[in-house]
Structure 1
């Protein structure tokens, strides 16, 4: 028997979602920030959900980062995240729009002004 040459999974990713292709919520973007809502990883989760919940308990991650860590397609992870958010195990927050982000040049000017007050 020859060894496997590639690093593909033995189980197709769509089995992690029980064959579902659409998440229950359409607000999940690749940049959606995922956070844990409980102090510990919940019991009774499926394998892929358990891996995701364990990963997010280490700190906030974007959906795309979590997909990369778990080596799952973003579309599969959207379904898993939607299920965990619906169950109350994960929190999902939309990324900060570019218009609401702080201007770095403005912050540098404020910092420079504060330094000159001394």
Structure 2
């Protein structure tokens, strides 16, 4: 169960309108950041989406978003995917730095940050 701003408890699937799968596959370690459109869109009528938009002014992994907003990981993935489709957030695959490279990337700070965030859960 998730809490609304006024303290009432609601079932997580209500936030996703009953959907259990995101419109596109998003890894739990993918980094989510609010776009300029997401920052200036005004108040979102759905509190979970609004919390994600505010939280991701600094990049956060999907797993961090779920933990901080206190929602199941599946719900977070659905909402983040919806926000990305609407252009409100950008989702970056941290593994993309390794793709197409002849040498392994030397900067592992992004992956270390995700690991550390997951450990704090």
TM-score normalized with structure 1 length? 0.71
RMSD: 2.4
How do 1:36-51 and structure 2 match up within 5 A?
36-38=34-36, 40-43=39-42, 45=44, 46-51=46-51
Q: Secondary structure at the match of 1:35?
A: strand
Q: Secondary structure at the match of 2:94?
A: coil
Where in structure 2 are there 5+ consecutive unaligned residues? 4-8, 99-103, 109-121
Aligned equivalents of 1:43, 1:54: Cα separation in 2: 11
Aligned residues: 96
**Relative to 1, partners in 2 of residues 1:15 and 1:92: Cα closer, same or farther, differing over 3 Å?**
same
Aligned match of 2:52: 52
Aligned match of 2:106: 102
Q: 47-56 vs 90-99, which deviates more?
A: 90-99
TM-score normalized with structure 2 length? 0.69
Where in structure 1 are there 5+ consecutive unaligned residues? 1-6, 105-118
**Relative to 1, partners in 2 of residues 1:75 and 1:41: Cα closer, same or farther, differing over 3 Å?**
farther
